[in-house]
Amino acid sequence: MTEATLAHQWWKDAVFYQIYPRSFQDSNGDGRGDIPGIISRLDEIAALGVTALWLSPLYPSPDADNGYDISDYRGIDPRYGTLEDFDRLVAAAKERGIRVVMDLVINHTSDEHPWFQASRRREEPYADYYIWRPPRNLGDDSGDREPPNNWTGFFMGSAWEWDDVRQEFYLHLFDKKQPDLNYHNPAVIEEIKGILKFWLDRGVAGFRCDVISLLYKSSLEDGKPGAIRGLEHYKAQPGTHKILHELRHAVLDPYNAFTVGETVMVTLEEAKDLSDPGRGELDLVFYFDHLEVDRLVARYGPKPFRADTLLRRLTTWQRGLDWNALYLENHDQPRIVSHYGNDRHYWSRSAQMLAVLQLTLRGTPFIYQGQEIGMTNFDFTSLDQINDVESHNIDRLLRRRGVPYSLRWYLIKTASRDNARTPVQWDSSEHAGFTTGQPWLGVNANASWLNYAAQDGDPKSVLNFYRRLIRLRAASPTLRAGGFEPLIADRAVMAYRRTPTAGSTDPGYTVWLNFSDQTQRLKQPWLTSAMSDPEAGPTGAGPVHPPECVVSNTGRRRLDGCLLPWEAMVIRDGTATPWRGDAA
């Protein structure tokens, strides 16, 4: 890593905002968001306190996986606009102090990419750009062929697809229209370097790197039994580290470019290797462990939520990584207020409580579009309303396994990626102010009251709560970069402390969160910890001094021995005042 990069890690003080372009703002009435629409909303983004944008793919694509199947890495899909529109976006964002980060999808391309079309015809130099293999055997007269190995893809089923033109199988860890690139071929790496330079020269500040931990397939041997077979042959392999280091040294460092990688199913040690500053690979990683506390397999198969389990997992990553990427939502996750909150009876309060959780941890926050107004999961009534390819593939798989419709629909409705992909709810007009046409995906019916316009001028709204938290964080070195200490937790309540950085005059903060519909009474030694004046040490005999809250989502200013349903309190050190009242 160069001295310039070490001296200017701007992303550590940034607040990112992820835009899923097709669902953000439509400017021309075609029902699909676009770049001019994004430009028209930059003032709203800036008002939130955001300093960087992450844009999901804008490249030309046949849309087998909503743009994550790219057919041209150096273009803009005409449905989103033009390269000139993109340049205007970068310039307009810069005027507002906002950097732009692109989504980089380089594990695979679209099968309609010219590279793949040439590769399937064995045309040089592209013949070896993808992972091709003959069948394990030729099968019988029916034409059945056995794939080269037993690997399964992330969208269920075999990870191999037969191609009639080349007369071989190609590997696709995701949809069959997303063939994996072959990183054993140095020419592929050179292509990626050119793509990076193309966008960096247009003024982007870096890249969010899609499924980046899966790039290098070290072997094509059969995989061990498991939900996804073959993972041990391509997850966080030494070859991937070598590729990332080469891209960093050759391209990213000279531009002082930022990278955050989506790292699939990685362990803490694997994530540390990918993001250790001394290794010169990625700056940050997105992991999933903290969002799977109440799930059996990824987003599917619910189990009871426990706040103490969540705190343990957060502690593992807060302490384990040099710097964390803080997120609760993205385009692949259900809405967090519908997942960990209560979107029916305590919608506003639980959305605000979850905002406190995200924005009081150590690291760089990534807020997903609509999260700042507490958007909920979509009110789907049938699979026909769902666009997501993964959801349909899972439904087919479960149907073949005899899973009844009621259970299939429950799993898909609560976990489908489309829950996060519905249009942003800007106002209460038809289609929520997203478009004057027919939206590409349905608009939630609650947009009539849950929308940006309704919250903008309401000081008690979820939106203004986010704004205040972001301002507090920006003013506090402790909340941005201080230490993290878990305090106490049980099924419903957690508390942790943010400790001051060395030499800082900013005090520490203690965060209390109630993840339940019930008032939670604090017991000893919890109560002693909660009521202590940090400057005087633990309370012993004598009066208990309840500290004053600097953030509260209930309007209460004192922690008096209990937490109300879905209550969040942030307490600054040294703000204790004389206690008047009974401590239960």
Active-site amino acid positions: 210, 262
The helix-helix angle for 347-359 and 462-475 (nearest 10°) equals 20
Collapse the DSSP code of 559 into the 3-class scheme (helix H, G, I; strand E, B; otherwise coil) and give the result: coil
Q: Please report the DSSP string for 392-428 in residue order.
A: HHHHHHHHHTT--HHHHHHHHHHH-GGGGTSPP--SS
Collapse the DSSP code of 135 into the 3-class scheme (helix H, G, I; strand E, B; otherwise coil) and give the result: coil
Collapse the DSSP code of 483 into the 3-class scheme (helix H, G, I; strand E, B; otherwise coil) and give the result: strand
Closest CA to 336 of 488, 462, 457: 462
* Rounded alpha-carbon distances, angstroms, from residue 5 to 1, 258, 283, 320, 545: 6, 9, 10, 22, 46
The residues facing 295 across adjacent strands are 302
Collapse the DSSP code of 132 into the 3-class scheme (helix H, G, I; strand E, B; otherwise coil) and give the result: strand
Q: Is 42 left (phi over 0), alpha (psi -120 to 50) or beta?
A: alpha
Alpha carbon distance 105, 65 (integer Å): 12
At 195, list the tokens.
Answer: 């793509």
Longest distance between any two alpha carbons in the chain, whole Å: 89
At 400, list the tokens.
Answer: 């073949």
Closest CA to 118 of 108, 129, 109, 107: 129
Handedness of CA 489, 469, 502, 528 (dihedral sign): negative
